[in-house]
Amino acid sequence: MRQCLNPDCLAPNPDESQFCQQCGDKLLIRERYWAKRVLGQGSFGRTFLAVDEDKPSKPPCVIKQFLPQAQGTDSMGASQFGNPHPKSLVC
Residue ranges that bind Zn ion, judged by CB under 5 A: 4, 6, 9, 11, 20, 22-23, 25
Cβ 69 to Zn ion shortest distance, Å: 19
Q: Quote the strand ranges of the chain, DSSP E.
A: 2-3, 12-13, 28-29, 33-42, 45-52, 60-66, 87-90
Q: Which CB atom, from 23 or from 70, has the smaller least distance to Zn ion?
A: 23
Cβ 25 to Zn ion shortest distance, Å: 5
Give the count of beta carbons closer than 10 Å to the beta carbon of residue 24: 10
Q: Which CB atom, from 12 or from 68, has the smaller least distance to Zn ion?
A: 12
Q: Which CB atom, from 1 or from 11, has the smaller least distance to Zn ion?
A: 11
